[in-house]
């Protein structure tokens, strides 16, 4: 019986590393852990689990990028308001 070829899913490791360095450290670490497990799962022929781990890595990376953007915007608004208040006095 011939084994069917299943392509290896993209682990999204680069996106996870970008998230960790530039956006949100805690969520980026979760994404890196998920992305690092993709190759091992694929090599042990756990194809569905590998795809699920790749999807989770992407999901946590996107959450981290969104969280980093929201926190950065909030920080800029807060500091901008403080800057304007300092000159208004």
Tens-place pLDDT, residues 8-46: 999 999 999 999 999 899 999 999 999 999 999 999 999
Instruction: Please check whether residue 3 lies inside any domain of the structure.
Output: no
Q: What is the pTM of this model?
A: 0.86
Residue 1: is its pLDDT beyond 70? no
Number of compact structural domains in the chain? 1
Instruction: Please check whether residue 7 lies inside any domain of the structure.
Output: no
Q: Which domain holds residue 80?
A: 13-88
Instruction: Please check whether residue 5 lies inside any domain of the structure.
Output: no
Sequential DSSP letters for the chain = -PPPP-PPPP--HHHHHHIIIII-HHHHHHHHHHHHHHHHHHHTT-HHHHHHHHHHHHHHHHHHHHHHHHHHHHHHHHHHHHHHHHHH-
Residue 2: is its pLDDT beyond 80? no
Average model confidence (pLDDT) across the chain: 94
Instruction: Please check whether residue 54 lies inside any domain of the structure.
Output: yes
**Lowest mean pLDDT, pick from 28-32, 50-54, 82-86:** 82-86
Instruction: Please check whether residue 39 lies inside any domain of the structure.
Output: yes
Instruction: Please check whether residue 67 lies inside any domain of the structure.
Output: yes
């Amino acid at each position: 019986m011939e084994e069917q070829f299943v392509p290896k899913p993209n682990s999204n490791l680069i996106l996870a590393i970008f998230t960790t360095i530039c956006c949100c450290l805690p969520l980026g670490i979760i994404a890196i852990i998920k992305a690092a497990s993709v190759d091992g799962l694929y090599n042990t022929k756990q194809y569905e689990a590998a795809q699920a781990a790749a999807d989770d890595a992407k999901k946590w990376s996107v959450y981290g990028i969104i969280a980093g953007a929201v926190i950065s915007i909030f920080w800029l608004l807060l500091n901008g308001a403080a800057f304007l208040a300092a000159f208004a006095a």
